[in-house]
C-alpha cells in the first residue's frame, strides 16, 4: 500500500581530515542506539571503529575535519565522487575548526616554529571548510557535534524526512531551558546571540559564556555583539579573540576577527585579512 520499505541498507562512510576525532567518536557515543543503527545502516568505512575498509561508493558519507594538506584535498574530491550525499560533521569540516586560525598567520613561520624540520611537514597554507572545495549536501555543526542531533540525522535518513535541526540562536534554547542570561546578569561575554543552537545552551548552564562551537547562525550580527563586548570593557583584541575559536573562520565571525584583531600571534591592531580562500597552494 505504501511504497516498499524493504530498501537496501544505506551504505555509510565516515572520513576524517584535520580534526580531533571527537565528532566521529560521537557516533560511538550513541551507546543505546549504536547496535540498532549498525543493523539498519551498512557502515562500510569507519576506521575509528572497524577494520573493514571501503573507498566507496557511499549513499552517505560523513566528513570530519578541515582540508589542510594536499593529500586531504585529493581525498575530499575522491570522496565527493563516491558519495551520493556528502554531509560535513563538526566545526572543522563546516567552518575550518581551530586550525583555521592559522589562516591569518604566515604559514611558513608557523610551521618553522613548531617543527624542527618544516620540510618534513606537508600542509596547505590555509585550513578550510570542506564546502570551500566540494559541494556539501548537509551539515551537522558543533565542536563536537551533538549526539541528539546525530541521532535525529540518522532517524531522518532512515525515515526519509528532513532532519529537524533548528537554525535559531543559542539564546532560544537557553531561555526555553529557563537559564538566566550570563551576559546581562553577570557581565560575562557570551557568543550565544550569534551562535547556532544545538548544544542545548550548555555553557550558560555552567555559568560561563557560549564560545561558539556551533558557529554563526543565519543573520548573525557579530559586529554588533563585538561592539557590545567592547562596550562592556573588553579591549578590541580581547573581544576579537572571543570569536577566534573553533568556528572563527566562518563569516561573519571571520570579519569581526579581522576588524578587531584576535587571531593567534598577531599584535593588537595589526590583524591582516585571512589568507585567500579557494587557492589551496597559494601561501601568504
Partner 1 sequence: MTSSAVTTVTTEPRRGTGFLPRAEFQHLIDLLGEDGRTVIGPTVADGAIVYGEVRAVSDLPVGMGAEQSPGRYRLVDHHDERYFAYAVGPTSWKRFVFPPTLDLAESHRDEHGHVSFGPVHHEIPKLAFLGVRACELAALGIEDRVLLGGPYTDEDFRKRREHALIVAVQCAEPGGTCFCTSMGTGPGVRGGHDVLLVELADGFLVSSGSEEGAGIVARLGLSAATEDQLVEGSDQLVAARDRIGDPVATAGLHDRLLAKLDSPRWAEIADRCLACTNCTAVCPTCFCTSVSQRSDLDGRTAVTERRWDFCFTKGFSAVALGGNFRPRVQDRYRQWLTHKFATWIDQFGTSGCVGCGRCITWCPVGIDVREELNLIAPPPVLGTEAQVAAHAPRTSVFHVDAVRPETHDTVTLALSTPDGMDWSRLHGEFVMVSVPAIGSIPISISRRLPTGMELTVRAVGPASTFVTGLERGAEVGLSAPLGHGWPVEAAHDHDVVIVGGGMGFPPLRPIVDEILAHRASFGEVHIYHGARTPSDLLYKEELAAWASRGDLDVGVTVDRADTTWLGRVGVVTQLFDHARWDGSKAIAFVCGPERMIQATVSTLAARGITQDRIFISMERHMECGVGLCGHCQVGPFFVCKDGPVFSLAQLGDVFGREGI
Partner 2 sequence: MTTEAPSFERSFRVEGITRVEGEGSLHLTVRDGEVTDARLRIFEAPRYFEQLVVGRHPDQVLDIVARICGICPEAYQMSAAGAFEAIFGVTVDPQVRALRRLLYAGEYIESHALHVYLLHAPDFLGYASAIDLAKDHRAVVEQGLALKKVGNELMAVVGGRSIHPVNVRVGGLYHVPTREELLAMRPALATALEQAKATLDFVAQFQAPPFERPVRLVSLRHPDEYPLFAGRLVSHDGTIDVPIGDWRTVFREEHHEGSNALHARTHAGETYQLGPSARVTIAAEQLHPVAREALARTGLADQIARNPFWSIAARGVELVHYCAEAIDIIDGYRRPAAPFVPWTPKAGAAGWGSEAPRGTCWHHWETDERGYVTRAQIVPPTSQNQGQIEADLRGFAPSVLELEHAEATRRLEQLIRSYDPCISCATHFLDVTIDRS
Residues that bind partner 1 (CB under 8 A): 1-3, 5, 33, 36-37, 40, 152, 154-155, 158-162, 164, 166-169, 171-172, 175-187, 190, 192-194, 207, 218-221, 224-225, 228
Residue partners of 219: CB distance under 8 A and separation at least 6: none
Q: Residue from 11, 12, 13, 20 that binds partner 2 (CB under 8 A)?
A: 20
Region from 46-54, 79-87, 149-157, 274-282 binding partner 2, contact rule CB under 8 A:
46-54
Contact between 84 and 55 (Cβ < 8 Å): no
The three grid cell numbers given for residue 33, joined into one nine-digit string: 542506539
CB-neighbour burial class of residue 211 (10 A; exposed 0-12, middle 13-18, buried 19+): middle
Report the alpha-carbon distance of residue 49 to residue 52 in Å, rounded. Answer: 9
Residue 102 binds which entry of partner 2, partner 1, none, CB below 5-8 Å type-dependent:
partner 2
Residue 89 binds which entry of partner 1, partner 2, none, CB below 5-8 Å type-dependent:
none
Decide if residue 179 touches partner 2 (CB under 8 A).
no
CB-neighbour burial class of residue 122 (10 A; exposed 0-12, middle 13-18, buried 19+): exposed
Q: Which is nearer to partner 1, 74 or 207 (CB)?
A: 207
As measured in angstroms, the least distance from the Cβ of 87 to partner 1 is 16
Region from 11-19, 81-89, 155-163, 274-282 binding partner 2, contact rule CB under 8 A:
11-19
Decide if residue 28 touches partner 2 (CB under 8 A).
yes
As measured in angstroms, the least distance from the Cβ of 85 to partner 2 is 22
DSSP-derived letter for residue 177 is: T
Q: Residue from 44, 63, 68, 252 that binds partner 2 (CB under 8 A)?
A: 68
Decide if residue 114 touches partner 2 (CB under 8 A).
yes
Of the candidates 106, 86, 207, 199, the one whose C-alpha atom is nearest the C-alpha of residue 148 is 199
The three grid cell numbers given for residue 114, joined into one nine-digit string: 613548531
Q: What DSSP letter does each residue of 81-137 carry, written as one string?
A: HHEEEEEEEHHHHHH--GGGGGGGS-HHHHHHHH-S-GGG----SS-B-GGGTS---
Task: Give residues in contact with partner 2 (CB under 8 A).
Answer: 16-26, 28-29, 31-32, 34-35, 38, 43, 47-53, 65, 68-69, 71-72, 97-99, 101-102, 105, 110-111, 113-117, 120-121, 123, 127, 143-144, 199, 202-203, 205-208, 211, 213, 238, 241-242, 245-246, 264-266
Amino acid at each position: 500500500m505504501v511504497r516498499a520499505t524493504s530498501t537496501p541498507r544505506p551504505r555509510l562512510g565516515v572520513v576524517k581530515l584535520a580534526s580531533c576525532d571527537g565528532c566521529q567518536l560521537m557516533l560511538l557515543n550513541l551507546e543505546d542506539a549504536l547496535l540498532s543503527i549498525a543493523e539498519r545502516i551498512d557502515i562500510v568505512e569507519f576506521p575509528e571503529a572497524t577494520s573493514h575498509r571501503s573507498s566507496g561508493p557511499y549513499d552517505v558519507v560523513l566528513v570530519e575535519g578541515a582540508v589542510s594538506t594536499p593529500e586531504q584535498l585529493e581525498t575530499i574530491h575522491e570522496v565527493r565522487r563516491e558519495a551520493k550525499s556528502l554531509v560535513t560533521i563538526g566545526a572543522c569540516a563546516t567552518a575550518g575548526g581551530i586550525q583555521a586560525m592559522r589562516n591569518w598567520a604566515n604559514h611558513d613561520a608557523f610551521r618553522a616554529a613548531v617543527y624542527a624540520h618544516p620540510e618534513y611537514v606537508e600542509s596547505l597554507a590555509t585550513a578550510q571548510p570542506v564546502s570551500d572545495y566540494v559541494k556539501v549536501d548537509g551539515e551537522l555543526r558543533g565542536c563536537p557535534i551533538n549526539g541528539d542531533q546525530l541521532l535525529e540525522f540518522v532517524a531522518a535518513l532512515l525515515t526519509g524526512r528532513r532532519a529537524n535541526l533548528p537554525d535559531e540562536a543559542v539564546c532560544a534554547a537557553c531561555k526555553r531551558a529557563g537559564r538566566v542570561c550570563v551576559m546581562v546578569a553577570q557581565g560575562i561575554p557570551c557568543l550565544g546571540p550569534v551562535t547556532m543552537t544545538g548544544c542545548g545552551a550548555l555553557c550558560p548552564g555552567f555559568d560561563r559564556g557560549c564560545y561558539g562551537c556551533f558557529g554563526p547562525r543565519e543573520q548573525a550580527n557579530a559586529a554588533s555583539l563585538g561592539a557590545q563586548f567592547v562596550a562592556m570593557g573588553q579591549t578590541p583584541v580581547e573581544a576579537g579573540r572571543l570569536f577566534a575559536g573553533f568556528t572563527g573562520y566562518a563569516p561573519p565571525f571571520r570579519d569581526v576577527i579581522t576588524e578587531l584583531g584576535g587571531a593567534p600571534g598577531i599584535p593588537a591592531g595589526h590583524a591582516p585579512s585571512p589568507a585567500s580562500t579557494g587557492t589551496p597552494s597559494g601561501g601568504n
